[in-house]
Structure formats: structure tokens, C-alpha cells
Structure 1
């Protein structure tokens, strides 16, 4: 009998460990992100003036209030550890010069069709503060944006009202995402590419620092989360997140290094989440809800 109990305990412990981590691994750095990282991130004295540039305080928006918000699934210590684990290449470095040249090349090749698509993606964004006020004029659109990735890949029926448990899960991760995004941004104050390169003509200007990319962070964090709920569509979710991150480069508002860092942070957040029993319960509820409703 003792042997049976021991075997059962080991089985349950192993099962818990398996379920306590993402069911996929992060793909290696690839394409131009890998190439740019190989060019050197240290300062270059010949471009030392660039290292004096920070994001202008006069352009700060109200997003700084997210520094006062408590995280949902992450702990405050985890937010601190993750936010202090990243840095961007020196403004004067060869890598940043190559990144700026790459953005200039994208700018030259922008097509009207590309512009329409990236501007559409640029207007997508869930804000936890709006969700707190049902009378807010953007309340319904905010909830639509919360489910953007699911709706984009699986149709208009994929919405918060039809999947309340999945909605709760996504709201929690997006609260963490905004806190993580702005904690990093306002700690490092990286200028936008157009602050360093006058030839860049961005499709819009953003009222928060450049590093790391918030759009890319939510795109991958949601893609990783959706991949747990609908694992058979993992490749499609990752492909959509890739499109979103590259859209920020086409728009001329993010360095590639902003985007690659956000992809890495999103995966680290998911790894932390699987250590949180509340997240695991909410994920299990969301998966069960999806399986019971999505096929109907």
C-alpha cells in the first residue's frame, strides 16, 4: 500500500511540474533581429552626442499612472526583477545605427496597403483603466480589443461576453502587461527612433518612451496565452504576434531591439505565471470554458 501511495504521489508531482510551465519553448532570435544583435551594442565615441538623448519629458502621456497600479498575476518583486533584467543598446552603438538604417529602408518601401494595415493594428489596444468604467465611450471597443487575436483568427463570435472566464484571464495578463511595459519604459527613458534620426517620418508619434514595445509585449503575451487555450492554433497566434511587432517597425516608431526584448519578456512572464496557483486555476477554467463553448 505504501508503494502505491508513493507511486501516486510521484505521478501527481510530475504532472504538476509538467502543467506548471508553458507547453512550448521560445523560438530562437531570428531574421534581422539576430543579425542586428551581432553588430555591437556598446557606445561609439564618434556618435557620443546620441547618448545624451532621452525621451523628452514634455512628451510624457498619462500612461505613467500605471507605475502606481498593483500587478494581477505577477508579484511586485517579479515585476522588479524582469524590469531590471533588460537594457537597450547604446544610442551611439553600431547596432542602433544599423537599426535606424533598417527603419529608413522600411520607410522607403512602405506601400499604401502596408500603411493601412499597420495603422489598423496600431489602433488596437486594451486598457485596464477603461475596463473599470462601463459608461466610458470606449468601453465596448476596449473589450473587443482584449479579444483581438482570438477574433482575428477565429471570427467575430470570439468576444468577452461569450467567454467570461477567458476574459478574466486576459484582463489579468493585460493588467500585468501594462504595468511591466511602463515600468520598463519610464525606468530607461529610451528615445523613439525619430528622436535620433531626423530622416525618419513616423506614421504617428507616441507619448511614452520607446523601450520596450507595448504592442509587441501584449501581442506575444496574448499569443502565448491563447496558445495554451487553443494549442492547435499556436503557429497562427505566433505569426499574428510577429506581424504586430513588425508593424511597429514599418510605422517607424520602434527599434527592432524594442520588439525583440518584448518578445523575450512576454515569455518570461508566462514562465512566472505558471508558478502562480491563481493563474493556473484561471487558465484551467478558461480552457474548460473554451472546450465547452467554442465548438457550439
Structure 2
């Protein structure tokens, strides 16, 4: 917890040139370990349902209902997460928001971003490994009557699993480790992002289910390393007074 971490923030003199401070910023950062991220091919997801399976047929019917009854607010939210630089952009903004809220200093904030970006990268490569292993058609390939919101298009890669959903869930899991008090909000956000991919008509529910499981496996591996990297475990004390001075 943060109180335990704060106990570590004591300057240990090494002789040096004489600078001292009662509240030094991350004096032990030089001893923090780097994190090793596995390649995406290290992670596997179960095969998706067959194109003609009852499960796929049921999911297609559910998608037709979802896409046919969208509100203007839902369409706006779908576009917020679809029309962005990349699937991870808004999650990096969320990380910055939490870094500011909890007052993390330079090395601490950089660590959060390094781990989050590594997790997103691993999740992305693992997702695309599975996409091109299974080559699952998009819902619109199997049922062309499914209508996307105006201005939206079907991505030019296979359906299973969902890249947006993997990014959402791995980001939520990693940020929840650093900021445990935010877990409920982060997981609700990830679930809402995953749902937009179904509401848009470009992903099956089972695509999202596979993404969530994949993200959990990746996050678990990373968090296991974080437990021994000598850096602060997590942050629970809101303190929006941090700065980026060096």
C-alpha cells in the first residue's frame, strides 16, 4: 500500500556532495527492475465457434437487435472509441488522469506508462496472432444485413478476438493493479468499450469473451513480475499535488 511505500522514501546518504532532504522523491528508483514482456505468440485462445454453429447463429441474431436499436448517445460513444488514433490512445489518457489524481512523480508515472504500453503491445500482438490463426469472418461477412452506424466501416482483419477489447481489458487490469481503488470504474469502462464493438456490428460476443480471457492471462504474467521489481506496489492515497519536475 502507499503508506508502506512512503516508508521507503528516506534518503540514505552515500557521502555524495552533501544534498539532503527529509522527503526525497523516489530515492530508490535507480534500483527498480525493468519488466520483461512475452511475445504475443506466447498466449493462446481457444478456437472460436464454427461459422454454422448454433452459438454463432445466436450471436448474429443478438447483433442484429443491438445494431438496429441504437440511441444517438450510444452511437456517439461507439464513435468515440472507434474514431481515434489507435485503440490504446484513450487508455493512455486515462493513465495520465490517474497519475495526476494520485500525485505520482516522474519515475513513478513513467513506470505506469511503461508497463501499460508493454501490456497493450503484448495484447495487440497476441490478438493478431490469434486473428490470423483462426481467420474468423466478421459478423457482416456471415450476415450482410447487419447495418453499421453511419460513417463506420468493417476493419480489414479477422474478427476473433477483438483488438479493442483486449486493449480495454488489459489496460483495466494493469491500471487496477497500480490504482486498486479505481478497479470497479476501470472494469466498467473496459466492459463498455468491448460492448461498443458488438453494437457497431463488427464483433461477436465470443470475440470479446476471448479478448477478456487473453487480457487476464497477459496481465497476470506482468503483475507477477511487478511484485518483485522493487518499485512501489500500488497507490491508494489521492494526492493531486505531484509534479513532473526533475
Q: Please give the TM-score of this superposition, normalised by the length of structure 2.
A: 0.71
Counterpart check, 1:253 vs 2:202:
yes
The Cα shift of 1:281 comes to 5.3
In the alignment, what sits opposite 1:185?
Answer: 131
The Cα shift of 1:275 comes to 4.2
In the alignment, what sits opposite 1:113?
Answer: 73
Q: Residues 224 and 113 from structure 1, CA distance in 2 versus in 1: closer, same or farther, beyond 3 angstroms?
A: same
Q: Residues 110 and 295 from structure 1, CA distance in 2 versus in 1: closer, same or farther, beyond 3 angstroms?
A: same
SS at match of 1:284: coil
- Deviation string for 1:19-59 (max 9, x for gaps)? xxxxxxxxxxxxxxxxxxxxxxxxxxxxxxxxxxxxxxxxx
In the alignment, what sits opposite 1:214?
Answer: 163
Structure 1 segment 190-269 matched on structure 2, within 5 A: 190-202=136-148, 203-269=152-218
Counterpart check, 1:166 vs 2:112:
yes
Equivalent residue in structure 2 for 1:95, among 52, 55, 63: 55
Structure ranking higher in helix proportion: 1
Task: Show structure 1 runs of 5+ residues with no match.
Answer: 1-71, 128-141
Equivalent residue in structure 2 for 1:75, among 27, 34, 38: 38
Equivalent residue in structure 2 for 1:147, among 92, 110, 118: 92
The Cα shift of 1:271 comes to 2.0
The Cα shift of 1:125 comes to 5.8
Equivalent residue in structure 1 for 2:231, among 255, 259, 284: 284
In the alignment, what sits opposite 1:122?
Answer: 82
CA distance in 2, matches of 1:229, 1:242: 19
CA distance in 2, matches of 1:292, 1:233: 11
Whether contact under 8 Å (2:119, 2:219) holds in the other structure is no
CA distance in 1, matches of 2:83, 2:101: 21
- Deviation string for 1:210-265 (max 9, x for gaps)? 00001110101010111111101100000000100001011001000000111111
Whether contact under 8 Å (2:91, 2:171) holds in the other structure is no
Whether contact under 8 Å (1:166, 1:286) holds in the other structure is no
SS at match of 2:153: coil
Whether contact under 8 Å (1:229, 1:287) holds in the other structure is yes
In the alignment, what sits opposite 1:6?
Answer: none
The Cα shift of 1:273 comes to 2.1
Q: Residues 295 and 236 from structure 1, CA distance in 2 versus in 1: closer, same or farther, beyond 3 angstroms?
A: farther
The total of aligned residue pairs comes to 203
Whether contact under 8 Å (1:211, 1:258) holds in the other structure is yes
